Structure 1
Amino acid sequence: MKIGFIGTGWFAKTHAALLAKMDGVEVTAFCGTSIEKAEKEARNWSNAKGYTNVEEMLDKQKLDAVYICVPPMAHGAIEFTLIERNIPFFVEKPLGIDEQPLYIAKKIEEKGLITSVGYQWRYKETTKKALSLLENRNVGMALGYWMGNMPMVPWWRNQKTSGGQFVEQTTHIVDLLRFLCGDITEVYAAYSSNIMNEKVKGTTVSDVGTVTMKLKNGMVATVSNTCILPESGKVGLDFYTDKGVLELGNEGLREVKGNQILEYKEQVNPYIEENKIFLNAIKTGNPSQILSNYKDAVITHQVTMAANQSAISGQPIIVKNFAL
């Protein structure tokens, strides 16, 4: 399989490194914001070439799939171009910073194109374990967290180019909540900015935020985030049930029943799993094992957009029912 990459940042490097270890997979193209960046990544592959224009890359190479690893504001034209040419794609979250992903999703459905979105938490063994444990419990509420520092790239700290932390990072926790507990119907958000805009020039994203959510099944969830810490902190989602507490985090799953604590450590690399499943779907034409396709990811995107809208208006927002 011949694979192309759009983007040359951390996610592109991460996925490309994993593909390098897979049999029958060859990365042959990188498209970057500069030819220097694209050619630098291409040099890691014997037959790869660098480009600065997506159309040129697609004109000159016959690709079986493309990975889109670009900042939030760069989405749109890339996806429409790949859809027009019937090229399956894997796209890293978030899908964008506005309503454009809805139109992209409609085009994907019309074409019947295979897609996958980088919500790697869905592919964790501990997430699967949590899903099985929750089947036999009544969940009353969930508390989610993305507590960390500010990524020092200019586009991230600009609200207009990243969408803010809830869209760019905490979307993982929102998606995990959806995956494990079902549809989110209403959100109410409160954000605040009073620290990082004084510390880092050009900062317009919020320092802290808390979003309360109502779920279709009657649950209530609260997901909070901050980027004021000096280093990465707590990231995960806790479930409060009639049989105790489940704490799902980066390192694993904890089942708490009073003084009894059971721990389940992560055994697989979810990035490897999501890549294998995506590429196998293309080979077989069967996407049923993909846990987050574009259509599903748009629903998570709609929740994060609604949270931003609520933070601006100060009012609860009903999450739109996404339907193609």
Structure 2
Amino acid sequence: MNMRIGIVGTGGFAKKHAGIVSRMDGCEVVGFAGTSLEKAEKAASGFAAAAGYEQVEAMLDNGKPDAVYICVPPMAHGPIERSLIERGIPFLVEKPLGAEGSIPGELAKQITEKRLITSVGYHLRYTDGAQKTKELLEGRYVGLANGYWLGSMPGVSWWRTLQGSGGQFVEQTTHITDLVRYLCGEVSEVYAQFNRVVMHERVPGTEVPDNGVVTLKLRSGAVVSLTNTCMLPINHTSGLDLVTDLGVVEFRAHGVRDIRKGQITEFLNQTDPYVKENEAFLHAVRTGDTSRIRSTYEDAHQTHLVSMAAVRSAETGMPVRL
């Protein structure tokens, strides 16, 4: 019997996950829930077994999915997850977990109590490069790391408001924050400075900061600087450079460079992290074996706490201890 998959959302990531799932053996997409019936039906039209719904509850009642993918903007989280938790339906949710801190904290507790299978879309954890970086760091001491997300402002209106996205550090740079935790361990203190320079004048309705610099102190003693900007006219680069006692490890979405004295070795990704992410989640739903999931909701909540600490620090001008 095919595993039945429901999708909440009709945007690019909803379609990306649906496309991957539909090509996997023993899986079928049975429904899309969107902000309008028209959007949902349009998204569902590309999948033979799928129907479109304007309400999530209707999709759950009629489609009877075994698992659900949540691909919605940050401000839309809460009611969707609560419905799935109440029904005991496993879900994969795209990052970030929300635009503020209270709802993800509440949901994390409920998920733990219910022992519900979850996964969060921190796809960089599933790259070959992330696993290679873990190998390269064995036996080394990481003393310093520099991470960055340098690009342009997304064109959707919700992204420009703090209530909608939480800002770039919350919505985009979270990938790098999460990678720091995955590769180097937990964060003990956060200090942040954000600014608004030009985008609030150039793009109507913009509330989010243009630029940010966030300093993290790790429990290991390492210090990390994370910088982000959305004021560029282009999407420039993102990544994480790890400074160790044996050299520098440069992580990028496409692979890793190991830079040592007199030697530079490059390792390129060979597999699709989104496919691996989906395979790990659906394997867990099918078998109960969650060992291949690299980011559960509870784990991702720790990344979200770092994001919220950065926002609070930028507001108060004071460091925040975790």
Give TM-score scaled by structure 1 length.
0.97
Structure 1 Cα separation of the partners of residues 117 and 110 of structure 2: 12
- Do residues 215 (structure 1) and 218 (structure 2) align? yes
* 2:201 paired residue number: 198
Cα distance, 1:30 vs structure 2? 0.2
> Within 2, Cα distance between the matches of 1:306 and 1:124?
27
| Partner deviation per Cα, 1:75-108 (whole Å, 9 max, x = no partner) | 0010000000010000000001222111101111
Where does the alignment leave 5 or more consecutive residues of structure 1 unmatched?
320-324
Residues 154-213 of structure 1: CA distance to partner in whole angstroms, max 9, x if unpaired? 000111110000000000000000000000010000000011111111110000000001
In structure 2, the partner of 1:42 is 44
Counterpart residue type for residue 50 of structure 1: G
CA deviation vs aligned residue, 1:14-49 (integer Å, no higher than 9, x gap): 111111211111001000001110000110011210
| Whole-Å separation in 1 of the counterparts to 2:169 and 2:242 | 20
Q: Secondary structure at the match of 1:176?
A: helix
1:3 maps to amino acid: I
Q: One-letter code of the match for 1:226?
A: T
- Pairwise mapping of residues 38-117 of structure 1 onto structure 2 (< 5 A)? 38-98=40-100, 99-117=102-120
Number of residue pairs matched? 319
CA shift, 1:258, in A, is 3.5
For 1:61 and 1:274, the matched residues in 2 are separated by 23
CA distance in structure 1 between the aligned counterparts of 2:313 and 2:104, rounded to whole angstroms: 20
Which moves more between the two structures, 259-268 or 238-247? 259-268
Determine the C-alpha separation between the residues in 1 that align with 2:35 and 2:262.
54
Residue 224 of structure 1 deviates from its aligned partner by 0.5
Amino acid at match of 2:315: I
Matched, 1:135 2:162: no
Equivalent residue for 1:293? Answer: 296
Counting only pairs closer than 5 Å after superposition, residues 174-253 of structure 1 correspond to structure 2 as 174-253=177-256
Q: Give the distance between the partners of 2:171 and 2:73, measured in 1 at CA.
A: 9
Distance 1:149 1:18 in 2: 28
One-letter amino acid matched to 1:58: L
2:260 aligns with one of 238, 257, 261: 257
The corresponding residue for 1:151 is: 154
RMSD: 0.8
**Mapped partners of 1:7, 1:269: distance in 2:** 22
- Identical residues among aligned pairs (%): 55
Return the offset for 1:259: 4.2
3-state SS of 1:155 partner? helix
Distance in structure 1 (CA, Å) of the matches to 2:88 and 2:22: 24
Residue 6 of structure 1 aligns with which residue? Answer: 8
- Whole-Å Cα distance in 1 between the matches of residues 252 and 170 of structure 2? 19
- CA–CA distance in 2 between the matches of 1:149 and 1:121? 20
Q: CA deviation at 1:61?
A: 2.0
Q: 1:37 is matched by which residue type in structure 2?
A: K
- Select the residue among 16, 25, 45 that pairs with 1:23: 25
2:169 corresponds in structure 1 to: 166
Indicate the SS of the match to 2:158: coil
When normalised by structure 2's length, the TM-score is 0.98
Tell me the distance in 1 between the aligned counterparts of 2:34 and 2:63: 16
Matched-pair contact (CA < 8 Å) for 2:99–2:162: no
Instruction: Describe the SS at the equivalent of 1:264.
Output: strand
Query: For 1:228, what is the secondary structure of its paired residue?
Result: coil
Q: Which residue of structure 2 aligns with residue 322 of structure 1? A: none
Is 2:127 the partner of 1:124? yes
CA apart distance, 1:73: 0.2
The runs of 5 or more residues in structure 2 that have no matched partner are none
Alpha-carbon separation, structure 2, partners of 1:45 and 1:255 = 43
1:313 aligns with 2:316: yes
